[in-house]
Structure 1
């Protein structure tokens, strides 16, 4: 049985609560004080925790026993999870925190100020209007970078006056600025971006980055000696900054699936896997789908033609066990266009149609049900 919300009233639809699962009265009292100081609504529950509640919480606070149970229940790893205890943490407490993917172990009441800061820093995306799409290739050469760029260019066109932030999370991809043909435009790239104290001003970021169209800022990796791999912490700061400002944040994720990819998947509202309509490509994508699902349940596939063996988009979606977001016809002369001045979207092109289809899933709220 679930306990009622601490406030005794339903949560407003645009405010995500802090989820707390605590057995000790002393811990509960401390967390209530911290939530009140951070001006956050607290949702206190008992185990087991429904997946929807877990996914939709702004932050999660668990005692060690709850952390172990949530990990054994195979709830997906995500950001903004804290484990709290009433005394100095020992090996068992640290193991529980590691099992659930917690960001830290806090001792209450001594660490209440740190908990207040953590809860206060988690903005409500729904209220701000920000959202995150991660795009990753199911195999090499799938076209994930091109689709990510197309989604970023399409977002502001669907919502005039809105902004998009296209973030390069593939240090070995050659740079999204080159794909968009803005490599000669002034502005910062990842090697020159410095994150201080885990915070970034979204306005300053847009002012400092190259533009690739109305309302679209590009944070690209460099090339050669200037490639420079961003840290996972810097990646999280950039994504959260964009969300806090109401931006559409689109991340092009490399297939290495390391810490950088994990940081993106933890924050994404929707993970889009791009797969060519070929059997070997679909087989290779199975491992990518499995890896993504350990971090985020909201995963869908865009299937890219041609299909030499006659495989349909729904065939590949069924093979992978995830929903089909779009089936994209081959786009004539796309490779040549990318070599001559970068990506330019035509309104009725297959690439544009696929970008619109992905954004429609996100905007309809269906992303929270893609599983």
Structure 2
């Protein structure tokens, strides 16, 4: 029997969708699960505290534990281990929006994120345009931008990348890469699109009805199939990159 990896400190990955409906939440959940396999732990965090709740994507909306509104009054660093233990757990511990997220200030979000990062890797399912997102990106080791291949979607991607990389952009210390999404398998034009965007291509996701059916059954995204394999390859690249940097 292969021993489970020992939990160790790891990176913060912020996932952003350049457009609506490109699968940022699904990718966040699948990536967090694979990072947990390779690092020994990973926390998945809903970066949109005013949204409907990432736990709906992960099928954990009925699992008891803390959500963002429960942490609205937290200020300063606190025990990351205690926070992790108090979170709902599916495939990984998940801090989701829920209830009245409008009462959660950015300061509380950042204090919680900083506390949780002391315990190991984290994936944040972010929202471009949210007031807290620049500070989250500034803390990130890498940013994954989900990009559709339609004309409007590519225009959205260019706008987001321009904001991230501009003079006042928060991503100057982060590695920004794109995950493309389309109904087709990886095609030659994807390489052309990525070259025009000017950032690294992390992976290509083809529309998969199995992922949608799994979601309708309340299953965690990416437990099997192409989505799992793709997220695993990206997670391994991240682990290997950190190992090379530490060498």
**Interval of TM-score (by shorter of Structure 1 and Structure 2):** 0.7 to 0.9
1:237, distance to aligned residue in structure 2 (A): 1.6
* 1:254 maps onto 2:127 in alignment: yes
SS in 2 for 1:289: helix
Give the counterpart of 1:219 among 81, 86, 95: 95
1:315, distance to aligned residue in structure 2 (A): 2.3
Cα shift readout 1:40-69 (whole Å, capped 9, x = no counterpart): xxxxxxxxxxxxxxxxxxxxxxxxxxxxxx
| Cα separation, partners in 2 of 1:357 and 1:280, compared to 1, 3 Å | farther
1:261, distance to aligned residue in structure 2 (A): 0.5
Which residue is equivalent to 1:304?
Answer: 181
Asked whether the equivalents of residues 221 and 227 of structure 1 are also in contact (C-alpha less than 8 Å), the reply is yes
TM-score (structure 2 length as normaliser): 0.85
TM-score (structure 1 length as normaliser): 0.58
Give the Cα–Cα distance (whole angstroms) in 1 for the partners of residues 223 and 78 of structure 2. Answer: 33
Cα shift readout 1:260-291 (whole Å, capped 9, x = no counterpart): 11121010000000012323211211111112
Which residue is equivalent to 2:4?
Answer: none
SS in 2 for 1:187: coil
Give the Cα–Cα distance (whole angstroms) in 2 for the partners of residues 263 and 368 of structure 1. Answer: 26
Which residue is equivalent to 1:20?
Answer: none
Which residue is equivalent to 1:359?
Answer: 235
1:302, distance to aligned residue in structure 2 (A): 0.5
Instruction: Name the structure, 1 or 2, with higher relative contact order (CA <8 Å, separation 6+).
Output: 2
Give the Cα–Cα distance (whole angstroms) in 1 for the partners of residues 68 and 75 of structure 2. Answer: 17
1:207, distance to aligned residue in structure 2 (A): 1.4
SS in 2 for 1:259: coil
Give the Cα–Cα distance (whole angstroms) in 2 for the partners of residues 229 and 281 of structure 1. Answer: 32
Cα shift readout 1:144-196 (whole Å, capped 9, x = no counterpart): 0110011111112223xx21111101134421111111101110110011454
* 1:339 maps onto 2:216 in alignment: yes
Asked whether the equivalents of residues 302 and 324 of structure 1 are also in contact (C-alpha less than 8 Å), the reply is yes
Asked whether the equivalents of residues 42 and 93 of structure 2 are also in contact (C-alpha less than 8 Å), the reply is yes
Give the Cα–Cα distance (whole angstroms) in 2 for the partners of residues 327 and 307 of structure 1. Answer: 10
Asked whether the equivalents of residues 72 and 104 of structure 2 are also in contact (C-alpha less than 8 Å), the reply is no
SS in 2 for 1:364: helix
Over the residues paired in the alignment, what is the CA RMSD in angstroms?
2.5
SS in 1 for 2:16: strand
Which residue is equivalent to 2:21?
Answer: 141
| Pairs within 5 Å for 1:44-63 | none
Asked whether the equivalents of residues 313 and 326 of structure 1 are also in contact (C-alpha less than 8 Å), the reply is no
1:229, distance to aligned residue in structure 2 (A): 5.2
Number of matched pairs: 233
| Cα separation, partners in 2 of 1:195 and 1:268, compared to 1, 3 Å | farther
Give the Cα–Cα distance (whole angstroms) in 2 for the partners of residues 301 and 229 of structure 1. Answer: 32
Which protein has the larger Cα radius of gyration, Structure 1 or Structure 2?
A: 1
SS in 1 for 2:132: helix
SS in 1 for 2:146: strand
SS in 2 for 1:285: helix
Asked whether the equivalents of residues 190 and 229 of structure 1 are also in contact (C-alpha less than 8 Å), the reply is no
Give ranges in structure 2 of 5+ residues lacking alignment: 1-7
| Cα separation, partners in 2 of 1:196 and 1:330, compared to 1, 3 Å | closer
Give ranges in structure 1 of 5+ residues lacking alignment: 1-127
1:344, distance to aligned residue in structure 2 (A): 4.1
